[in-house]
Structure 1
Amino acid sequence: MRLLFIMLRKELKGYFLNPFGWVVLVFVTAMQGAALSTAMKGFRDSPSQNSLVYSAYNTTLFWFWFLFIFPLITMRSFAEEERSGTLEGLLTAPVRTWQVVLSKYGAAMVFYTLLWIPSYLQFRMYEWVTDVPPAYSPGSMLGAYSILLLMGAAFTAIGCLASALTSSQIIAGLLTIGMLVIHYFLGYVTAIWGENFRAAPMFHYISSQEHLHYFTKGLLDTRPVVYYLSLAAFVLFLTYQVIDYRRWRR
């Protein structure tokens, strides 16, 4: 475990010692600020029964920039090391394959989690600046960040798998966004085809839009927890198999 933490710390430093990591942080902060400002403008223009948290996250604009976070933070994970030749040295070192995979995935997840700290502060600034009760409940805030972390766990794993499949960062990024967009549109299958087919409950079960809808209302459910954690574990297992195959092929 000590070796795993050393590798995790090394990977995490790569995000903050590289200007690209700070660019991603600024991008997410700016987009979250735009989403929050749009929601507040909507509150000003017309009354709404929804909370500020719900209004900020349940928009097409949110999904547009949210899905692009994952190729940005994962496309370098394995692809860059494969391109530069350092992955070969890493895989021939006395470390386990699972340690390599978990260190890169763990660093990406820690960085992803840190990206949401500015957004939390932006919501709290509404209360601090206006000196009025917040336009959201603690339940909606807890639900929003819970589902964002759960989706992040699965989507980051998908990004790591895409990066492990190629030596090109661009191709890894395109694979990641392609798989995430497909997953996103699967949530609209029942809206397009209706409910009159046997697989409809399955599409509701995997719909990220529905999960975000309910969690930002403060309605917590264990089924998305099981789904996203199971998906993350399965995709990481596939990533392990890909990297282990490369290791023994050498």
Structure 2
Amino acid sequence: MTAQLPTLKAPKRQLWIITRREFFALLVSPISWVILFLFFLFRGFEVYQLASYFKEVGGDSESFAMGYLASASTQFAIVLVPPILTMRAFAEEKRTGSLEHLMTAPVRDFEVVFGKWLASWLFFVLLWLPTLTLLLILQMDSFLGVSMPMGQVCAAYIGLFALGSLILAAGLFTSSLTDNQLLASLAGMIFAFALLRAPQEISQQLDVRALDVDSGFGLVLLDQFYVIKQLGQWFFRGLVDTGYLVFYISTTGLFLFLTTRVIESRKWR
């Protein structure tokens, strides 16, 4: 029994090593710091405009929270940041040939994929943590002095982190298909943009043709995949819909599985 303990602990240790290596690689990457700088610069400008408007016009705390959460920088962080974080995950290692060395190491393919995804997700979460601090500062009497509905804020961040996990997993998948980082990032951005905007565009076209074609079922189905609408109707209003969480998590798992299969297929070439 004692001889089996190292074997049981080894996968967890290998996963931790991969995650730690990839996470610190993101921390020291210049592109990561550029992302952080642009995001906080953009976010700060939006918050300044929102706070100025709130002081002049007024409004309730829920309206301010919606304006703070559903901003342009939020969409920037969802569409552009995850593909940039994951573009080098496999594409760069394919180009340099280091992926073959990693695949011959005593580590399972899924541990490599999951470790890279977990590292990018942790960095994505790290990107958002300072915005929580900013919310606390805005609640001080010397600033806006408005009490933010923390339940609404927490639900919104849960939704953002779950959606981020899905787009990061899709970014890993696109990175595993090519050795070109630019191509991998563009494919990931197209997927993220399509996930956010395509259901709206398609539903509008179906709605226009609804007089001639019975498209009710199609509209209902597309509404379930309209991510921005669901974030605004549920998570940004303080309601955590477990159905959408299950969708994000299961789709994340699907992309991680597909990425693992792509990596495994290289062993048979």
TM-score by length of 2: 0.85
Amino acid at match of 1:155: I
Name the residue aligned to 2:96.
Answer: 84
Larger radius of gyration: 2
Structure 1: 4+ residue segments shifted above 4 A: none
- Residues 91, 97 of structure 1: 8 Å contact kept: yes
Identity over the aligned pairs, expressed in percent?
29
Deviation at 1:36, TM superposition (A): 2.2
Residues 71-126 of structure 1 show CA distances to partners (whole Å, capped at 9, x for unaligned) of 21111111111111101111111211011101111110111111111111111111
Q: Distance in 2 between matches of 1:62 and 1:108?
A: 17
Residues 152-171 of structure 1 show CA distances to partners (whole Å, capped at 9, x for unaligned) of 11011011111111101100
The equivalences for 1:189-204 within 5 A come to 189-194=202-207, 196-204=215-223
Name the residue aligned to 1:137.
Answer: 149
- Residues 78, 164 of structure 2: 8 Å contact kept: no
- 1:234 and 2:245 matched: no
- 1:105 and 2:117 matched: yes
Q: Distance in 1 between matches of 2:65 and 2:204?
A: 24
- Residues 78, 164 of structure 1: 8 Å contact kept: yes
Deviation at 1:219, TM superposition (A): 2.0
TM-score by length of 1: 0.92
Q: Distance in 2 between matches of 1:73 and 1:132?
A: 34
Residues 159-216 of structure 1 show CA distances to partners (whole Å, capped at 9, x for unaligned) of 1111111101100011001111111122313344338421222211111112220211
**Count of matched residue positions in the alignment of Structure 1 and Structure 2:** 249
- Residues 206, 227 of structure 1: 8 Å contact kept: no
What root-mean-square deviation, in Å, do the aligned CA atoms of Structure 1 and Structure 2 show? 1.9
Q: Distance in 2 between matches of 1:205 and 1:119?
A: 28
- Residues 55, 144 of structure 2: 8 Å contact kept: no
Name the residue aligned to 2:231.
Answer: 212
Secondary structure of the structure 2 residue equivalent to 1:187:
helix
Residues 35-61 of structure 1 show CA distances to partners (whole Å, capped at 9, x for unaligned) of 322322332353445432211232455
Name the residue aligned to 1:246.
Answer: 266
